[in-house]
């Protein structure tokens, strides 16, 4: 690939994870309000997206994943799609607004830095400062009205980025299929696990979802999964971690704007105050890592 084509591909991928992933939080809410249940919706979404991407990759000559690659894809699917996206969806189903959810998820790079301790990364003083500042912003969100009425939503929205961060770290350490086939395998296995989880939770889609819910699901499949998730996995293997995870700065703003305009959501001062504090913490951690360990591999729910 020429340098111009590579720059174009990277720029397109960045734009996709910046804008599209910011909009998927509202897409999840519309699909839930229209009749879908959290895990079964995720299962349908990722199985369809995974099958489409698998077919496309095979048509382009990609080899089938080996047993080891399927196993590793299932591990990442469980962490990132079930533990990450699935828990965010349940949180929204329990009354957490899309803008508030995106703001809490913005702390994901902080979890990557903290979990990095278990992989031999010892945070320096400046990184510890960033972690304290960022998690202070998360604490501010606990006073948001959405969380005041949903303790479960608060717990899930804190746990979800931890699983996503762990999956992102492991994605650079596990043997996976290359390119689109690797993404397809993760979505297929994650989608199957979400479906199983939905049945275990007793989820049932008792009535036909509305047209709006089907359109939202279609948007999540085509744009949120195939396009944006594929773009994210591309970034993980082609750019520095700081750039790959920089969507955390943009997604909350997109989600809040769309939630307030299209979703008629109300945002209190706790979210508006907590967001810049979280992003400041993320910025401090990112700056510290670029100064001291520019090549450390880490990555960043996206929904």
Query: DSSP string spanning 232-299?
Result: HHHHHHHS-HHHHTTHHHHHHHHHHHHHHHTS-----HHHHHHHHHHHHHHHHHHHHHHHH-TT----
User: What is the Cα–Cα distance from 204 to 223, expressed in whole angstroms?
Assistant: 25
Q: How many CB atoms lie within 10 A of CB 261?
A: 10
Better pLDDT: 82 or 235: 82
Helical ranges in 16-66 per DSSP H: 21-33, 38-59
Answer whether residue 273 shows pLDDT above 90. no
> Alpha-carbon torsion 229, 41, 76, 300, what sign?
positive
* CB 247 within 8 Å of CB 18: yes
pLDDT higher than 80, residue 246: no
Q: Is the pLDDT of residue 81 over 90?
A: yes
Domains of the chain: total: 1
Q: Which residues neighbour 6 within 8 Å (Cβ) at sequence distance 6 or greater?
A: 238
Q: Is 69 helix (H, G, I), strand (E, B) or coil?
A: helix
Has residue 303 been placed in a domain? no
6 found inside a domain: no
Average pLDDT of the residues in 66-75? 96
- Does residue 301 belong to any structural domain of this protein? no
Query: What confidence category does residue 47 fall into, taking pLDDT thresholds of 50, 70 and 90?
Result: very high
Q: Are 212 and 30 in contact (CB under 8 A)?
A: yes
Minimum mean pLDDT among 39-43, 69-73, 129-133, 266-270: which range? 266-270
Residue 107 domain flag: yes
Say what the pLDDT of residue 39 is: 97
In a domain, 3, yes or no: no
d(CA 84, CA 303): 8
Length of the chain measured in residues: 303
Judge whether 1 lies within some domain.
no
pLDDT reading at 300 higher than 70:
no
Full domain range(s) for residue 109: 11-292
**Residue 32 within a domain:** yes
Q: Is the distance from CB of 228 to CB of 27 less than 8 angstroms?
A: no
Q: Under a CB-based contact definition with an 8 Å cutoff, are residues 190 and 46 in contact?
A: yes
Instruction: Calculate mean pLDDT across residues 97-124.
Output: 81
How high is the pLDDT of residue 57?
A: 92
Q: Which long-range contacts (CB under 8 A, 24 or more apart) does 196-205 make?
A: 196/43, 197/39, 197/43, 197/82, 197/86, 198/37, 198/38, 198/39, 198/40, 198/42, 198/43, 199/40, 201/39, 203/37, 203/38, 203/39, 203/40, 204/37, 205/35, 205/36, 205/37, 205/40
Structural domain includes residue 149: yes
What digits encode the pLDDT tens for the residues 204-233? 988 899 999 999 999 999 998 888 877 877
Residue 299 pLDDT class (50, 70, 90 cuts): very low
């Amino acid at each position: 690939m020429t340098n111009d084509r590579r720059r174009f591909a990277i720029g397109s991928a960045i734009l996709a994870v910046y804008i599209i992933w910011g909009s998927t939080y509202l897409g999840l809410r519309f699909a839930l309000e229209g009749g879908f249940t959290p895990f079964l919706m995720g299962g349908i979404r990722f199985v369809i997206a995974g099958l489409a991407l698998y077919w496309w990759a095979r048509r382009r000559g990609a080899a089938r994943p080996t047993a080891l690659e399927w196993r590793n894809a299932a591990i990442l699917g469980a962490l990132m799609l079930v533990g990450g996206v699935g828990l965010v969806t349940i949180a929204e189903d329990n009354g957490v607004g899309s803008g508030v959810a995106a703001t809490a998820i913005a702390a994901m790079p902080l979890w990557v830095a903290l979990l990095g301790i278990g992989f031999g990364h010892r945070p320096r003083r400046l990184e510890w400062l960033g972690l304290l500042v960022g998690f202070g912003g998360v604490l501010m969100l606990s006073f948001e009205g959405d969380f005041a009425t949903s303790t479960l939503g608060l717990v899930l929205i804190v746990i979800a980025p931890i699983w996503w961060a762990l999956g992102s770290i492991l994605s650079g350490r596990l043997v996976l299929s290359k390119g689109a086939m690797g993404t397809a395998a993760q979505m297929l296995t994650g989608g199957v696990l979400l479906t199983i989880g939905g049945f275990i939770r007793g989820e049932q889609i008792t009535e036909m979802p509305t047209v709006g819910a089907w359109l939202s699901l279609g948007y999540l499949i085509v744009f949120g999964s195939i396009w944006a998730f594929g773009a994210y996995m591309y970034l993980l293997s082609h750019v520095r971690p700081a750039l790959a995870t920089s969507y955390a700065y943009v997604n909350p703003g997109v989600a809040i704007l769309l939630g307030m305009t299209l979703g008629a959501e109300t945002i209190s001062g706790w979210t508006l105050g907590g967001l810049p504090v979280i992003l400041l913490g993320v910025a401090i951690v990112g700056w510290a890592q670029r100064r001291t360990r520019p090549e450390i591999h880490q990555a960043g729910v996206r929904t």
